[in-house]
């Protein structure tokens, strides 16, 4: 178990998701205590999300205002001066703790902001986007029901997220998008290079099939078992394709060289096996087993990187020595034949 996982199991979630609840004073008719009560109800709803370990808001540091309509409510029965003084002190206290923000002056936008802090797990199969969606759904459902109960008062209320969680989520999305685009770019560049080297557009495109095979097999398997693809996993795709291309080009070089010497396709495949089969196997075994050691690391991204690289290298080995020879032996293997094959050399006495 990693250190972060142990801390979250023994102490609690370590990442904060900040929800900001905004009241538009121009259309919202709730007073300060009623807004505080509504924020407390939203906090309780957010706390019910499975991935949320704890919540804090202005209601946490305030007197109990859960039932302002009751005649037995202590706050409702306060003298007006005492109640105004208490609200003023409460506003100052919550403002210092950054759980409440009132309009700064008469020229600013007449909006009141309340903050609700939720603790979410760092090590979780649920993405931050899904967690935030669950929290927002619960808050929006509560606001919708409150609006039905008080349609004239509960208006102009909106929710949004700030803090570390949306920042990390945005960074992850940007990294994943960039890595995916780099993978596509590498695929296109390598495909063009293969077309030039093989002097054939169909052969260049077909030669990319065993190069894509590792990523399709491993990432397709991850999708099948429901394993999310994160930044650490996406880093391995381009690396695996680069190693697979090396073996593919090595095998095709010996295959085409044997065909230029006058051998048939099946004989040329045998020659390619004899010349580079052992080298491709040794490369996959050394690199794969060497990277598999990192799977023992306590840091989850490094551990996942080591395991995926080992699986991708084994898949690349299958693609170069099983899939590629199968393509060469099939009818489409004719696209890989050299345009001009040399005649067998005649022996002279």
Q: Is residue 310 part of a domain?
A: yes
Task: Assess whether 270 and 188 both reside in one domain.
Answer: yes
Task: Give a three-class secondary structure readout of the chain.
Answer: CCHHHHHHHHCCCCEEEEEEEEEECCCCCCCHHHHHHHHHHHHHHHHCCCCEEEEEECCCCCCCCCCCCCCCCCCCCCCHHHHHHHHHHHHHHHHHCCCEECCCCCCCCCEEEEEEEEEECCCCCCCHHHHHHHHHHHHHHHHHHHHHHCCCCCCCEEEEEECHHHHHHHHHHHHHHHHHHHHHHHHHHHHHHHHHHHCCHHHHHHCCHHHHHHHHHHHHHHHHCCCCCCHHHHHHHHHHHHHHHHHHHHHHHHHHHHHHCCCCHHHHHHHHHHHHHHHHHHHHHHHHHHHHHHHHCCCHHHHHHHHHHHHHHHHHHHHHHHHHHHHHHCHHHHHHCCCCCCCCCCCCC
| pLDDT tens profile 27-61 | 888 888 888 889 999 999 998 888 888 899 988 88
Least confident of 6-10, 82-86, 155-159, 188-192: 6-10
| pLDDT tens profile 138-147 | 999 998 888 8
Task: Assess whether 299 and 229 both reside in one domain.
Answer: yes
| pLDDT tens profile 159-212 | 888 877 778 778 878 887 888 888 888 888 888 988 888 888 888 888 888 888
Please count the other Cβ atoms lying within 10 Å of the Cβ belonging to residue 272: 25
**In the predicted model, what is the mean pLDDT of the chain?**
83
Structure tokens at 54: 């704890």
Q: Evaluate if residue 125 carries a pLDDT over 70.
A: no
Tally of domains in the chain: 2
Q: Is residue 222 part of a domain?
A: yes
- Position 104 confidence tier, pLDDT thresholds 50, 70, 90: low
Task: Assess whether 158 and 286 both reside in one domain.
Answer: no
Q: Is residue 63 part of a domain?
A: yes
Task: Assess whether 131 and 258 both reside in one domain.
Answer: no
| pLDDT tens profile 238-279 | 887 888 888 888 899 899 899 888 888 899 999 999 998 899
Q: Is residue 346 part of a domain?
A: no
Task: Assess whether 136 and 179 both reside in one domain.
Answer: no
- Position 348 confidence tier, pLDDT thresholds 50, 70, 90: very low
**Last residue in a domain, options 162, 182, 200:** 162
**Last residue in a domain, options 146, 162, 178:** 162
Q: Is residue 343 part of a domain?
A: no
Task: Assess whether 120 and 193 both reside in one domain.
Answer: no
Q: Which residue has the higher pLDDT, 1 or 7?
A: 7
Q: Which residue has the higher pLDDT, 169 or 288?
A: 288
Task: Assess whether 118 and 247 both reside in one domain.
Answer: no
**Last residue in a domain, options 135, 162, 189:** 162
Task: Give a three-class secondary structure readout of 137-154.
Answer: HHHHHHHHHHHHHCCCCC
pLDDT at 347: 44
Q: Evaluate if residue 73 carries a pLDDT over 60.
A: yes
pLDDT at 345: 47
Q: Which residue has the higher pLDDT, 228 or 222?
A: 222
Task: Assess whether 11 and 131 both reside in one domain.
Answer: yes
Least confident of 106-115, 284-293, 307-316, 333-342: 333-342
What CATH code is carried by the domain that includes residue 297? Answer: 1.20.1640.10
Q: Is residue 349 part of a domain?
A: no
Give strand pairing partners of 39. none
Q: Which residue has the higher pLDDT, 162 or 66?
A: 162
Cα within 13 Å of Cα(21), Cβ side: 29
pLDDT at 108: 60
Give strand pairing partners of 157. 23
pLDDT at 25: 80
pTM of the model: 0.62
Task: Assess whether 187 and 273 both reside in one domain.
Answer: yes
Task: Assess whether 66 and 200 both reside in one domain.
Answer: no
Q: Evaluate if residue 68 carries a pLDDT over 70.
A: no
Task: Assess whether 194 and 134 both reside in one domain.
Answer: no
Q: Phi, psi (5° rounding) for residue 47?
A: -65, -20
Q: Which residue has the higher pLDDT, 99 or 297?
A: 99
| CB distance 323 to 209 below 8 Å | yes
Q: Evaluate if residue 222 carries a pLDDT over 50.
A: yes
Q: Give the structural domain span for 297.
A: 170-336
Q: Evaluate if residue 153 carries a pLDDT over 80.
A: no
Task: Assess whether 281 and 149 both reside in one domain.
Answer: no
């Amino acid at each position: 178990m990693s250190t972060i996982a142990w801390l979250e199991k023994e102490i609690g979630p370590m990442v904060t998701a900040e929800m900001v609840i905004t009241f538009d004073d121009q259309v919202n008719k709730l007073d300060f205590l009623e807004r505080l009560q509504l924020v407390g109800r939203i906090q309780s709803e957010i706390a019910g999300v499975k991935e949320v370990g704890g919540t804090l808001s202005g209601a946490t540091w305030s007197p109990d205002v859960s039932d302002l309509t009751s005649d037995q409510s202590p706050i409702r029965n306060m003298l007006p001066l005492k109640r105004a003084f208490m609200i003023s002190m409460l506003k100052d206290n919550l403002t210092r703790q950054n759980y409440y923000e009132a309009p700064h002056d008469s020229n600013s936008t007449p909006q009141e902001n309340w903050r609700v802090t939720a603790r979410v797990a760092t090590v979780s199969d649920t993405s931050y986007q899904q967690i935030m969606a669950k929290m927002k759904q619960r808050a929006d459902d509560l606001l919708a029901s409150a609006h039905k109960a008080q349609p004239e008062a509960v208006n102009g209320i909106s929710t949004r997220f700030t803090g570390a969680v949306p920042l990390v989520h945005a960074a992850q999305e940007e990294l994943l998008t960039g890595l995916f685009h780099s993978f596509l770019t590498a695929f296109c560049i390598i495909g063009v290079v293969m077309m030039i080297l093989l002097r054939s557009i169909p052969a260049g495109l077909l030669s990319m099939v065993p190069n894509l095979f590792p990523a399709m097999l491993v990432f397709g398997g991850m999708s099948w078992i429901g394993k999310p693809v994160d930044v650490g996993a996406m880093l391995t795709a381009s690396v695996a394709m680069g190693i697979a291309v090396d073996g593919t080009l090595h095998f095709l070089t010996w295959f085409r060289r044997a065909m230029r010497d006058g051998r048939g396709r099946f004989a040329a495949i045998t020659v390619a096996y004899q010349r580079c089969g052992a080298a491709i196997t040794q490369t996959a075994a050394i690199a794969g087993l060497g990277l598999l050691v990192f799977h023992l690391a306590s840091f989850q991204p490094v551990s996942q990187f080591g395991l995926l690289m080992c699986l991708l290298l084994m898949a690349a080995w299958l693609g170069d020595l099983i899939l590629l020879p199968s393509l060469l032996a099939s009818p489409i293997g004719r696209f890989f034949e050299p345009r001009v094959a040399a005649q067998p050399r005649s022996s002279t006495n």
